[in-house]
Amino acid sequence: MPLIIVTGLPSSGKTTRAKQLYDYLAQRIAPTDSSTPAKYRLHLISDDTLSISRTVYDLSPSKVPAHTRSANASEKDARAALYGAVKRVLSDRDFVILDGLNYIKGWRYQLHCEAKAMRTPNCILQIGCTPDRARRVNEERIRKEQQQQHPGGEKQDGDVIPEGDTTEAYEPGNWDNLVFRYEEPNPMTRWDSPLFTVIWEDDEAQTRKTFDSLWDTMAGDAKPVVRPNQ
């Protein structure tokens, strides 16, 4: 069953949509009769589920921890952990949602090859969000972190982060750099297709439509047959 690779700018709403997709798929795969065992399993893998810090993406020399081999070694280690986690569960019985930046096309290609080796398809769920909006979310997260250290700050107009969301912010230079490095998925390539898009403004009905289309394409009767030598 498919590997669904979520991708989008930092703080663009990826985790929110990944969780919505998780809930949607959980409903779709639930057996109608409780005495029958579930045919499929569902997994959500992310930096957060593997406790990977945002700092692993920071390439500024001053931010690299002393024990790290080179500026991007920590990110490579993080990718290896994510890869291992995907590989452990991916099969023709498992739906795997990989929630993360997934911004390097070579990385998406590698995941595509892994899925193919497991004879299961992959697709991309791109989260569309303007850089301005995503930046505001990250700035709000930074403000919240500062508030926790020095309580008493004011809430600002346009704040979207609910109480209780303790997601780590990106340091501003790290955020800018990740947006600069972001490699847009290209649905003309086989590893970035099929590609489904949900944008920030999509309401519940529109999001459901996109999820329905993802389900029909990836798990419906016409689901792709993957042969490893293709």
Binding site for ligand ADP (CB under 6 A): 8, 11-16, 137, 160-162, 165, 167, 200
Rounded to the nearest 5 percent, the helix, strand and coil shares of the chain are: 45, 15, 45
Instruction: Output the DSSP codes for 76-135.
Output: HHHHHHHHHHHHHH-STTEEEEEES----HHHHHHHHHHHHHTT--EEEEEEE--HHHHH
Q: How far is the CB of 134 from ligand ADP (least distance, A)?
A: 7
Q: Beta strands of the chain (E only): which ranges?
A: 3-7, 41-46, 94-99, 122-128, 195-199
Cβ-based nearer residue to Mg ion, 13 or 121: 13
Q: How far is the CB of 127 from ligand ADP (least distance, A)?
A: 7
Cβ-based nearer residue to ligand ADP, 16 or 193: 16
Q: How many CA atoms are closer than 13 Å to the CA of 65, on its beta-carbon side? A: 9
Count of CB atoms situated within 10 Å of the CB of 196: 18
What is the biggest distance separating any 2 CA atoms in the chain, rounded to whole angstroms?
A: 60
- CB nearest Mg ion: which residue? 15
Cβ-based nearer residue to Mg ion, 14 or 108: 14
Give the one entry of ligand ADP, Mg ion, none that residue 7 binds, where binding means its C-beta sits below a cut-off of 5 to 8 angstroms depending on kind. none
Site for Mg ion in 7-26 (CB under 5 A): 14-15
Q: How far is the CB of 170 from ligand ADP (least distance, A)?
A: 9
Secondary structure class of 196 (helix, strand, coil): strand
Q: How far is the CB of 8 from ligand ADP (least distance, A)?
A: 6
Cβ-based nearer residue to ligand ADP, 81 or 219: 81
Residues engaged in binding Mg ion (CB under 5 A): 14-15
